[in-house]
Structure 1
Amino acid sequence: MASMVPYAFVPQRGYANSPLELEHPAPGLIRKFDTQGRVLTFRGNTVICPLPQNGRFFNELTTISAAATERYGSYFVPTPPSSYHMTICGIMDPVVSEKFSWLSQGRRGLSFDEMEQEIKLLLSRRRFRYPNPIRMTAGLANNTTDYGAIPLFALNGSNAKKLLNFRKDIEKTVRIFSQSINVYRFHITFGYFFRSMPLAAFEDYKRDYALWCSRMNKIGNIATLAPPVFCHFDNMLSYYPITPLKQR
């Protein structure tokens, strides 16, 4: 792994990013930050599309992250702008590694590194269908529970279907159990909450968050993402590209 060039960033599975839920995580879930905002080890791998570090979408996202940090820094850790990305399909992490169907077939003795290499091999053997380029628009703050991320939507129904099928193909390829694919919401994370807020502060934050999402949506921001890549991560602040996903 030492030779890999890291993306600074992760998917938000296994632990809620709601600022009212962080003090009492569900049994068995692993913290990604301690109560002082220090990053903790949270090792895994995922397929992501990095956000290029230029353009209007990137600039607006860094402005939002800076505002959230300035106003709510006692509760909030910003994602490094160099790590901004959209998760296509989370694969391994300390919470959900048991979802692999092939681990129940007499192969539970595999180490993390051995599993990661097998996933790399499975993904690199085939080509996938996905929009080229992958372009997303910012959504509003409707019915979200992830207050550290901007929701993203495909530009049209055809591309939305292609992205959904792409996720399904990845899961089939690496032979993992379904993760409620049909209800997955694409997003770009701009920060994480590491401790709970008083209710009044949370209400203020929700109002700010709704305004940030609305501003991103109204200006017609389009995020043109880099091609999908299978990455390794040791925590929420750094991603290491392993192999690109080839297109059919």
Structure 2
Amino acid sequence: MAMPIKPSLAGFFAGSNPNPPVHLGTRYDTSGNFLIEPGNTVVCHLVNGSLSEAAVIEVRERMRAMPDADRLAFTPISSLHMTLFQGIIEYRRRLSYWPEDVPLDTSIDDMTRLYLERLNGVGDHGAFKVRVVDVVPTGLTVTGVSDQDERIMRAWRDALSVPFGYRHPDHDGYTFHITFAYLIRRLDDERASQWQQLFDDCLSLLARQAPVIELRPPAFCSFKDMKHFEELLVLG
């Protein structure tokens, strides 16, 4: 009998979630190729060459070595980042995800130029540290190392919602994360124990080798797809 799937993993397995992955066909295809989906965002890239980056890459490589890892479309190592605030994106042109004072058919390039102007006056809301609290098939779930770190991260989000002109429905409860991959196909329930063991081992590895994930300051970025996020304006 297959072992029960822990709640944070349930949505990744076919028995618990038979629906097709949300972004399949718009963000990436069934071969794992990333598609053009332009937008902008505020992210913190990993610190290149840091010990914590090396540990994160080790976890990513262990996931890629799984025999059914072909069900995942992995983003490049160079794109690894923690999203601080979600900007606008081509296939999400609707209110709560787009500013009310700007027409919904405005080009992505024009939106990026507009946000560069609006973000020029955004102050520094403080540095923060993050740690990994969960490992799932698509990457790492992170949170502030301390309650104060978490408050600072939330303060950044509140401040950024003003120039961006919206708050997503999950604004207050947003789960910070570092994406490794996107699901092409749900994982088989029979493989749950192997994946859960891998994630438990990876979480222990990160606790030992990278209790704090070193991040660069928040930066406003543009992107054409999920493979590269170009820093246009450093905010922190």
Please report the TM-score for the alignment, with normalisation by the length of structure 2: 0.82
Give the Cα separation in 2 of the matches to 1:77 and 1:106: 33
For structure 1, the residue ranges without an aligned partner over 5 or more in a row are 1-16
Q: Percent identity?
A: 19
Deviation of 1:222 (Å): 1.2
* Contact kept in structure 1, 2:55 and 2:209, CA below 8 Å: no
Matched with 1:11 is none
Deviation of 1:35 (Å): 1.1
Cα RMSD after superposing both structures: 2.6
* Residue 174 (structure 1) aligned with residue 164 (structure 2): yes
Taking a change above 3 Å as real, the CA distance of residues 210 and 243 of structure 1, as seen in their structure-2 partners, is: same
Q: Which amino acid counterpart does residue 192 of structure 1 have in structure 2?
A: Y
2:110 aligned residue (108, 114, 122) = 114
Give the Cα separation in 1 of the matches to 2:130 and 2:101: 39
* Residue 39 (structure 1) aligned with residue 42 (structure 2): no
* Contact kept in structure 1, 2:71 and 2:186, CA below 8 Å: yes
Once structures 1 and 2 are overlaid, which stretch shifts more, 209-218 or 44-53? 209-218
Deviation of 1:161 (Å): 0.6
For structure 2, the residue ranges without an aligned partner over 5 or more in a row are 1-10
Matched with 1:65 is 60
Deviation of 1:101 (Å): 8.0
What is the aligned length? 223
Please report the TM-score for the alignment, with normalisation by the length of structure 1: 0.79
* Residue 48 (structure 1) aligned with residue 38 (structure 2): no
Q: Which amino acid counterpart does residue 178 of structure 1 have in structure 2?
A: H
1:189 aligned residue (179, 188, 203) = 179
* SS state at 2:185 partner: coil
Taking a change above 3 Å as real, the CA distance of residues 215 and 176 of structure 1, as seen in their structure-2 partners, is: same
* Contact kept in structure 2, 1:49 and 1:229, CA below 8 Å: yes
* SS state at 2:73 partner: strand
Give the Cα separation in 2 of the matches to 1:101 and 1:198: 33
* Contact kept in structure 2, 1:228 and 1:244, CA below 8 Å: yes
Where in structure 2 are the equivalents of 1:93-112 lying within 5 Å? Answer: 93-99=89-95, 104-105=100-101, 107-112=103-108
Q: Which amino acid counterpart does residue 73 of structure 2 have in structure 1?
A: V
Where in structure 2 are the equivalents of 1:207-226 lying within 5 Å? Answer: 207-219=197-209, 221-226=211-216
* Contact kept in structure 1, 2:219 and 2:232, CA below 8 Å: yes
